[in-house]
Amino acid sequence: MGLKLANAYAQTSGPITDTGRNFIVTAWARLTGNAATATVVTQEGARTGGFTLQYSKPDDRWALVRAGSDADGAATVKALSAAAPRLNEWTHLAGVYDSAARQISLYVNGRLESTVAATSPWNAAGPLTIGRGKINGAAADPWTGDLDEVRVYGRAMFADELADLVNSAATLVGHWTLDEESGLTAADSSGRATPATLSGAASWTAGWLDGALALDGVNGYAQTTAPAIGTRSSFTVAAWVQLDYLPTTDTAAVAQPGSRTAGFQLGFDKEQQRWTLGMRAADTDTATLVRTRSDAIPNPLEWTHVAGVYDALAGDRGRRPHVRRRAERRADRSAGRPVRPAQHRRPPRSGQPAVLRAHRPRGGSDRRARTPLHRRRLHLPGRVRGPAAVRMGQADAAQPGLSHDRLPHGRPGLTDGHTATSLVAVWRMSTEG
């Protein structure tokens, strides 16, 4: 949960870092309006900020701004993003000052966007302020939207370290255990309250652990009323599945559709006889479907853990499927064998409800089940609990089917904690308002 700001701010009692020396400031930001410049975080001087991480309205870009001096009307330099922000979408921002190179750099979602010279460093001795800036000695540019995980480090960072910051922020967004055994509703135990409703010939049966959802391959499926993830961001989707027989058509165990096609589809590729994760470049009938496939050939009547991972930071290299059968899962646990995560081009944003079902991966209105599939568990942004998980915001997922915790160690209120020699401060927002 983030800090929701509307003409409000949070402020420390004094400076956090020396802005004349190496530093990095990072935050997760969700901008809900672009009518005016909006500041994520600044460290104030007497008249202006020593640095300002913000949305710049004149440029219509994310920006890291440095003034040449602590004076009204001082010249500024800006490191800008390559593209305009997407409204209502969580974005990771990182501003870096390298005192040796005398440069500032801006990273967006772990990628370097621009680097510019900043040759007049000075130390802002005022408080660090989250949610507004400072210009000509007065508060300015209030933030419009939500903020989370604001961090300040007293050093510069390497690109891979910044990528780790982005990937470490995974959040559990859905968990359907499918253990109900009766009724027409599959509860979401993630805390997000997104239940799935059974339709068609979907029914309950015995599963890998406790119950499972049985699908007839004709018209059975379960569907939520809202999307579970944003398919432009990194995510992991996983489930325990068992085929009654190898399907004669392409099928999907789990999908989140857009208007015309699925943002992702995790299932079976008939032509290659493999488990597959498929994603399209756009929400159209004609968009190319890009797939990555497993090495393992599915075995009917065998419970298998299948996990698909999309790494938004890796671009074309960022989508992979993970497959582990029951025996392999036990062997990997005892051997400590590492499993690498998934690879893919940038997908469309899928804003339709998440679907726990199988369907043909093509455009059109009929996306009902097309596979003889029993489904066990699904977790949709957090950590693996039990047989499977879906995670958002972390692409370097743990070994599928194995318990692994990469979440932050808690979400206290607005606090200032020195957690490492280079980490000067971190604020995790756990209250709204």
Same fold, 3-169+411-427 and 171-392: yes
Residue predicted with more confidence, 332 or 127: 127
CA dist., res. 380 & res. 354, Å (int): 9
Q: Tokens for 108?
A: 């967006």
Look at residue 184 and tell me whether its pLDDT is greater than 60. yes
- Partnered with residue 77 across adjacent β-strands are 66
- The arithmetic mean of pLDDT across residues 7-24, rounded, is 91
431 has a pLDDT exceeding 70: no
Contact 393, 237 (CB under 8 A): no
> What is the average per-residue pLDDT within 53-81?
97
CB 60 within 8 A of CB 184: no
Whether 349 has a pLDDT exceeding 70, the answer reads no
Domain boundaries, the chain: 3-169+411-427, 171-392
- Per-residue confidence at 26, pLDDT binned at 50, 70, 90? very high
Report the pLDDT averaged over residues 142-163: 88
Average pLDDT over residues 24-50: 96
pLDDT classification of 144: cutoffs 50, 70, 90: very high
Residue 155: per-residue pLDDT: 85
Q: What is the pLDDT of residue 388?
A: 33
Residue (of 343, 328, 342) closest to 397 by Cα position? 342
User: Looking at residue 428, what is its pLDDT?
Assistant: 58
Provide the pLDDT for residue 6. 56
The token pair at 405 is 């915790």
For the stretch 235-244, pLDDT in tens is 888 888 888 8
Q: What is the dihedral of CA 266, 272, 273, 274, to 10 degrees?
A: -40
Indicate the pTM of the whole model.
0.59
Which stretch of 50-54, 138-142, 175-179, 317-321 has the lowest confidence by average pLDDT? Answer: 317-321
For the stretch 256-297, pLDDT in tens is 988 888 889 898 999 999 999 999 888 899 988 888 888 888
Going from the C-alpha of 233 to that of each of 312, 335, 392, the distances in angstroms are 6, 32, 7
For the segment(s) 171-392, the CATH number from 3.40.50.720, 1.10.150.530, 2.60.120.200, 3.90.1720.10 is 2.60.120.200
Check: CATH 2.60.120.330 for 3-169+411-427? no
Residues 6+ apart with CB under 8 A from 223: 196, 197, 199, 353, 354, 355, 356, 357
